[in-house]
């Protein structure tokens, strides 16, 4: 078993070889972590107010998400699970599209078809995730093979949680990736819980990193609340994949401070002492201590950044509240490249009834047949 | 024009597609140097190299899952599931992912790919080398389901499927692999998806069928003709999206319908055809719709020739519907 990699102690002291990042870059990482926390908080408020349906927060996991994804280059792909939306924003998903997706409104690039918290962004290679645990893993492997065959300089980072390591997709994806030696990095964000099943109940393996051995793949275990350790470890794994040496597994050990989602009450299945212990290991506070001690962050600067991020997300929320209604034709579009006749007929029958009841908008009318 | 068997036509179609488009990859279990257990991919690794036709580990879920990722990233994967009976580990990837990627992403991501798989009985393969699972897939919006019955259609439909922007389940009737022979044009041609093939014109009874049942129905129709019953045989060949108007027109033409498939009857594909007729053209019908299908049992082995609809059972249904 590999050593758990830590570069900053919980008190914010350097304890290892730090990656060479400029002060500006360090502050950017901190800002991206804060944006995840601020945005999650805002989304939860909207959910409690009944404005949006569902939120899966990354609270407590900001270092794992931001630190690891910051090691990717623009041409690299990020195959996500539920909680990588903040990384998507850092890599270029416009906040407006993020919030539109949470509203599932007419501005949503997925046309409101997915439940909340299922982001995508084609421009930065962040494909749409289904909801099924682990199915994205072989997708990332196949896409990595395509990149390799074309000789592209693209690495595919495939994210999933501790629960997904029990899925078919994990097994088949890890196996194929190693056999095909594709440019991929498997990122297991072990946040301790798969809804109500703890990471200890998920496997009898000594560690999640041990699983890589059976596939003939190296692995690293990282203190997932240490943003620089996440960055540096991921950077090495990405470099290895990029150079043609094949895939590896990176396990980021962190903690899901909130419920699985806004629909979940974690007090029913986990001990408050455990949560309190992790509260003391907060990744943002740790990085804040580090940056303050390094003189990168001035006293009180965190609140200034937070206030700006809050104003930014609130402005976007106001804009998205005003979105137009969803076009009804989206019911039958994008099932196939062309809407087939049988769907046109189903829609036409539906819209005839809707129009009779005054439910249709201009443009919702029947398809010509 | 060369005479090919159905399996040779599939092989020829794959070669044509791979010569024309370097994005086309062929992979699956034993499809490489061995050329597949039925030899559908024979010679591909030799001609195109192991980058473009290769063996995979034994992992149906991985084969289809990886194909989706390849398709989403610009390739045109044509993967093989060795027997349709073994496709179920990949069912999640087919139904949850390939079928829904375009829809759930609002058209941002798509999965243009083909899953080739031999299906059906008649080779003494028992429960797990004989099934006809088309209805599992025709119940899934977002998939296209194609089943050829002749060498000409096998190649033309395969080339159309590979060029199609959506995921296609291409089910090959293994009982016809070497028994169906016919003229197959050299080079590129396509048979458009979602079109029917009129196998035989007739004015008394319309018979809908596809895949391995087509020659069985043709033989039964020849016997019916000796009694003066002329059958109108329609090979559906694309089950989803189906040319529904063509089906209704053919049903209306005779007002008497028999549907034949080897899959189990309950919730089988014939149920949809029957319901479509009842909903749309019942006023033209002169007799109840009759289905001739496999039993609602697992697929047998020793008695498979009784499980599969044969000329006798098809003829019986034709006669009954004609006399009604």
Indicate if B213 and B300 belong to the same structural domain. Answer: yes
Q: Where are the alpha helices (DSSP H) in B127-190?
A: 134-138, 151-163
DSSP for A66-102 reads HHHHTTS-TTSEEE--SS-HHHHHHHT--HHHHHHHH
Interface of B with A in 201-230 (CB under 8 A): none
B209 inside domain: yes
Per CATH, the homologous superfamily of domain A4-321 is Thiamin diphosphate (ThDP)-binding fold, Pyr/PP domains (3.40.50.970)
Q: In this structure, are residues B105 and A127 in contact, taking their beta carbons and an 8 Å threshold? A: yes
Q: What percent of chain A has pLDDT over 70?
A: 99
Probe site for chain B from A114, A116, A138, A369 (most B CB atoms < 10 A): A138
Cα separation, B78 vs B7, whole angstroms: 16
Q: Is the pLDDT of residue A322 over 70?
A: yes
| C-alpha distance from residue A68 to each of A71, A79, A153, A298, A362 (Å) | 6, 13, 18, 25, 46
Q: Is A108 on the interface with B (CB under 8 A)?
A: yes
**Residue A168 with chain B: CB contacts under 8 Å:** 61, 89, 92
Residue A316 CB: number of other CB atoms within 10 A?
19
Catalytic residues of A, which ones?
256, 260, 269
Q: How far is A152 from chain B (nearest CA, A)?
A: 11
Q: In this structure, are residues B70 and B54 in contact, taking their beta carbons and an 8 Å threshold? A: no
Q: pLDDT per residue over A76-117, tens digit each?
A: 999 999 999 999 999 999 999 999 999 999 999 999 999 999
Residue B271: per-residue pLDDT? 98
Q: What b-and-e string marks burial along B132-165, b requiring 16 or more CB atoms within 10 Å of the CB?
A: bbbbbbbebbbbbbbbbbbbbbbbbbbbbbbbbe
Q: A126: which DSSP letter?
A: B
**How confident is residue A159, by pLDDT bands cut at 50, 70 and 90?**
very high
Q: Is the pLDDT of residue A313 over 70?
A: yes
Is B179 annotated as catalytic? no
B132 inside domain: yes
Q: pLDDT per residue over A179-188, tens digit each?
A: 999 999 999 9
Indicate if B94 and B214 belong to the same structural domain. Answer: no
Domain boundary among B132, B148, B183: B183
Nearest to A146 among B70, B105, B107 (CB): B70
- CATH, residue B233: 3.40.50.920
Omega into B241 within 30° of 0, i.e. cis?
A: yes
Tracing tokens 């903690």 back to the chain, one arrives at A255
Q: How far is A14 from chain B (nearest CA, A)?
A: 40
**B253 is in which domain, residue-wise?**
197-323
Which is nearest to B289 in space by CA: B313, B262, B260? Answer: B260
Helix (H) or strand (E) holding B322: helix B311-323
Parallel/antiparallel/unpaired status of strands A156-161 and A184-190:
parallel
**How confident is residue A2, by pLDDT bands cut at 50, 70 and 90?**
low
Strand order in the sheet with B205-209: B197-200, B231-235, B205-209, B257-264, B290-294
Q: pLDDT per residue over B296-313, tens digit each?
A: 999 999 999 999 999 999
Sign of CA dihedral A285, A288, A294, A299: negative
Q: Is the pLDDT of residue A325 over 90?
A: no
B191 inside domain: no
Q: In this structure, are residues B223 and B315 in contact, taking their beta carbons and an 8 Å threshold? A: yes
Does the distance separating the beta carbons of B65 and A135 come in below 8 Å? yes
> Average pLDDT for consecutive 10-residue bins of chain B (324 residues)?
97 98 98 97 98 98 98 98 98 98 98 98 96 98 98 98 98 98 98 98 98 98 98 98 98 98 98 98 98 98 97 98 97
Q: How far is A126 from chain B (nearest CA, A)?
A: 10
Q: CA Rg, chain B, in Å? A: 19
Residue A324: per-residue pLDDT? 87
Cα separation, B159 vs B156, whole angstroms: 5
Domain boundary among B183, B215, B237: B183
Instruction: Kindly list the domain boundaries of chain A, sorted by start residue.
Output: 4-321, 327-369
**Residue B104 with chain A: CB contacts under 8 Å:** 110, 113-114, 118, 128, 130
Indicate if B251 and B151 belong to the same structural domain. Answer: no
Residue A1: per-residue pLDDT? 45
B192 inside domain: no
Catalytic-role residue among B129, B152, B232, B261: B129
Interface of B with A in 8-37 (CB under 8 A): 25
Q: pLDDT per residue over A293-310, tens digit each?
A: 999 999 999 999 999 999
Interface of B with A in 97-156 (CB under 8 A): 97, 100-110, 141-142, 144
B306 inside domain: yes
B189 inside domain: no
Please count the structural domains in chain B.
Answer: 2
Indicate if B277 and B307 belong to the same structural domain. Answer: yes
Indicate if B137 and B50 belong to the same structural domain. Answer: yes
Residue A362: per-residue pLDDT? 84
Cα separation, B187 vs B185, whole angstroms: 7
Q: In this structure, are residues A222 and A253 in contact, taking their beta carbons and an 8 Å threshold? A: yes
Q: How far is B165 from chain A (nearest CA, A)?
A: 6
Q: pLDDT per residue over A114-129, tens digit each?
A: 999 999 999 999 999 9
User: For B35, left (φ over 0), alpha (ψ -120 to 50), or beta?
Assistant: left
Q: How far is B2 from chain A (nearest CA, A)?
A: 35
Cα separation, A100 vs A89, whole angstroms: 13
Domain boundary among B122, B149, B183: B183
Probe site for chain A from B22, B54, B60, B66 (most A CB atoms < 10 A): B66
Q: pLDDT per residue over A206-254, tens digit each?
A: 999 999 999 999 999 999 999 999 999 999 999 999 999 999 999 999 9
Indicate if B262 and B291 belong to the same structural domain. Answer: yes
Does the distance separating the beta carbons of B75 and A138 come in below 8 Å? no
B190 inside domain: no
Cα separation, B77 vs A33, whole angstroms: 39
């Amino acid at each position: 078993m590999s050593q758990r990699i830590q570069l900053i102690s919980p008190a914010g002291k350097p304890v290892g070889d730090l990656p060479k990042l400029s002060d500006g870059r360090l502050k950017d990482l901190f800002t991206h972590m804060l944006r995840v926390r601020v945005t999650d908080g805002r989304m939860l408020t909207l959910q409690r107010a009944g404005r949006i349906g569902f939120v899966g927060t990354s609270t407590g996991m900001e270092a794992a998400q931001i630190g690891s994804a910051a090691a990717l280059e623009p041409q690299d792909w990020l195959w996500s699970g539920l909680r990588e939306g903040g990384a998507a924003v850092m890599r270029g998903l416009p906040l407006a599209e993020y919030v539109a997706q949470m509203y599932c409104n007419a501005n949503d690039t997925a046309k409101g078809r997915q439940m909340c918290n299922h982001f995508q962004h084609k421009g930065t290679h962040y494909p749409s995730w289904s909801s099924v645990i682990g199915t994205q893993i072989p997708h990332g492997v196949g896409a990595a093979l395509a990149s390799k065959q074309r000789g592209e300089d693209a690495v595919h980072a495939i994210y999933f949680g501790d629960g997904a390591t029990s899925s078919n997709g994990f097994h088949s994806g890890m196996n194929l990736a190693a056999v095909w030696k594709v440019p991929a990095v498997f990122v297991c964000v072990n946040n301790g819980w798969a809804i109500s099943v703890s990471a200890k109940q998920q496997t009898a393996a000594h560690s999640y990193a041990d699983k890589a051995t059976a596939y003939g793949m190296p692995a690293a275990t990282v203190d997932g609340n240490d943003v620089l350790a996440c960055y540096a470890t991921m950077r090495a794994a990405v470099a290895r994949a990029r150079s043609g040496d094949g895939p590896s597994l990176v396990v980021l050990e962190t903690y899901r401070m909130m419920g699985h989602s806004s629909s979940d009450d974690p007090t029913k299945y986990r001990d408050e002492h455990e949560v309190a212990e992790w509260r003391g290991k907060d990744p943002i506070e740790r990085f804040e201590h580090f940056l303050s001690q390094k003189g990168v962050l001035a006293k009180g600067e965190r609140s200034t950044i937070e206030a700006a991020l809050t104003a930014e997300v609130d402005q976007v929320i106001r804009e998205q509240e005003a979105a137009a209604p969803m076009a009804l034709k989206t019911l039958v579009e994008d099932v196939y490249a062309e809407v087939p006749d049988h769907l046109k007929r189903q829609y036409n029958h539906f819209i005839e009834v809707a129009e009779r009841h005054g439910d249709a908008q201009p443009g919702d009318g029947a398809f010509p047949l | 024009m060369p005479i090919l068997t159905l399996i040779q036509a599939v092989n020829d179609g794959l070669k044509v597609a791979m010569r024309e488009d370097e994005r086309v990859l062929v992979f699956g279990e034993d499809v490489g140097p061995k050329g597949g257990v039925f030899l559908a991919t024979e010679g591909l690794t030799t001609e195109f190299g192991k980058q473009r036709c290769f063996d995979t580990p034994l992992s149906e879920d991985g084969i289809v899952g990886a194909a989706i990722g390849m398709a989403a990233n610009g390739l045109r994967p044509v993967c093989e599931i060795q027997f349709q009976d073994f496709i179920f580990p990949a069912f999640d990837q087919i139904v949850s992912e390939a079928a829904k990627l375009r829809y759930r992403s609002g058209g941002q991501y798509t999965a243009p790919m083909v899953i080739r798989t031999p299906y059906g009985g008649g080779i003494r393969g028992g429960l797990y080398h004989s099934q006809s699972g088309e209805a599992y897939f025709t119940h899934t919006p977002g998939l296209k389901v194609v089943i050829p019955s002749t060498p000409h259609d096998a190649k033309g439909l395969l080339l159309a499927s590979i060029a199609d922007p959506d995921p296609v389940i291409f089910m090959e009737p293994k009982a016809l692999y070497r028994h169906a022979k016919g003229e197959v044009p050299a080079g590129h041609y396509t048979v458009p998806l979602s079109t029917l093939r009129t196998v035989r014109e007739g004015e008394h009874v319309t018979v809908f069928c596809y895949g391995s049942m087509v020659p069985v129905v043709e033989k039964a129709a020849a016997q019916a003709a000796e009694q003066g019953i002329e059958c109108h045989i329609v090979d559906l060949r694309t089950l989803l999206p189906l040319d529904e108007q063509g089906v209704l027109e053919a049903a209306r033409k005779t007002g008497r319908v028999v549907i034949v498939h080897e899959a189990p009857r309950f919730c089988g594909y014939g149920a949809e055809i029957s319901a479509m007729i009842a909903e749309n053209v019942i006023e033209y019908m002169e007799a109840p719709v009759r289905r001739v299908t496999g039993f609602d049992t697992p697929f047998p082995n020793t008695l498979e020739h009784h499980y599969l609809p044969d000329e006798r059972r098809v003829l019986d249904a034709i006669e009954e519907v004609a006399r009604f």
